[in-house]
Structure 1
Amino acid sequence: MVLKDDLVQDIPTANGPMRTYFFHPAVEGAQFPGIILYSEIFQMTGPIRRFATFLAGHGYLVAVPEVYHELEPAGTVLAYDQAGSDKGNYDKYAKDLSAYDDDARSLLGHMATMPQCNGRLGVVGICLGGHIAFRAAMNPEVRAAVCFYATDIHSGTLGAGKKDDSLARASEIKGELLHIWGRQDPHVPLEGRRKLLARLDEVQANYQWIEVNGAHAFMRDEGYRYDPELEHQLKSMMLSVFHRKLALSL
């Protein structure tokens, strides 16, 4: 499928304009379900762009916001090295928790009014983005959320002050959740995964839970931890959720 990937907009938020990149099938006048793709701490890297085009190629309007838009100049991409990791982690804890939430509300509201969007909305995120997607799913218009090895949910340490309320607010998620984890991921150990799992059961969330033998960042198609077989399998599961909850009007 031919795609359009040249639409870039600065979305107004309470903390300044948020540079956002849009991808969708190049079908004139057509409307598609909208999905926000939240990146890792490195923002719009090559792997994130390829992930976005993969989703768009299956019939979606995909938005990739710069999660650190109020902290870094527009267009900033952090490198997959120690300096980039240090900077990304610094920004993760420098940003106010409320700003993550306001960004999500702003972008969801914007997407719903775009001529390329049919109004059905979902979210997906990787690492840091998995946690942001989890919180974005607390908005009632989000029908489905896919979280790849979401960091900091179990520890409650997202944002400035490292004291988030994501576990406490889990009952606000009304759409379907898909959580995917790597058992060899040191960022979310077994006890952390079990803590979140117990909470989802407690609030009777509508969720699927997948654990695989993979290290942190096994979905990233750069670096030694990449597992292409797992990527293929799990992207298929992701698409199944989005097709059922967004593409089908049920």
Structure 2
Amino acid sequence: MDQYKVTSAAGFSLAKFSPGDTSAFEGSRDEAKKHLKNLRKELAELQFLLWAEDKHKLLVVLQAMDTGGKDGTIRNVFKGVNPQGVWVTNFKAPTAEELAHDYLWRVHPHAPGNGEIVVFNRSHYEDVLVVRVLDLVPSQRWGRRYDHIVDFEQRLVDEGTTIVKIYLNISKDEQAGRLQARLDDPERNWKFNAGDLDHRKLWDEYMAAYEDAIARTATATAPWYVVPANAKWHRNIVVAQI
């Protein structure tokens, strides 16, 4: 999956990554389902080894725009693993208590322990994304956070954590279709949030924020993967292979 991997800012641009790319798997849709099933089985076996050795840990960071597919990715990729060894942490808007501390205070306690896999559904990156776009803190403040994040992640790596950071890359048109689908389907209305439309108006600002966040925090030891996510079946295969 090296074609999606980013380890430094050198030559990086989000525009180089197509959200509609499906080149990682060239078989039929039925073959894709079978392949994903095999990947899940392999992931379950690797998880057992991780747990049995009790030495290493895995942190998966998932970021995406609204409707980007974070929940669906977690549900489809980690379907066959033992739930006793996989933890999903959803980072929503910070509470008053969390805001009273530094922005990493609420994150560190959820880092994986030996033998564990932890998935962050949104993460500490919200503090250089939403915070930046909505101008929630001065630019001098969030601008220093890139270096903080690199240091924080390197500390986790030094203590035995493997970090995989994934940006689920959807297009603006694809997002429009998914938002409309939520409105049209009564069983999915609960997923629709009017605030998503407000964020959508700031699409270009979010793309700039994501580009800077990835460029400034991608390292060889904590790389980013810009995963094409318009096609959900292909997205799942790519994430499972990573």
Q: TM-score, normalised by structure 1?
A: 0.29
The structure whose RCO (Cα within 8 Å, separation 6+) is larger is 2
Q: Which has the larger radius of gyration?
A: 2
Q: TM-score, normalised by structure 2?
A: 0.30
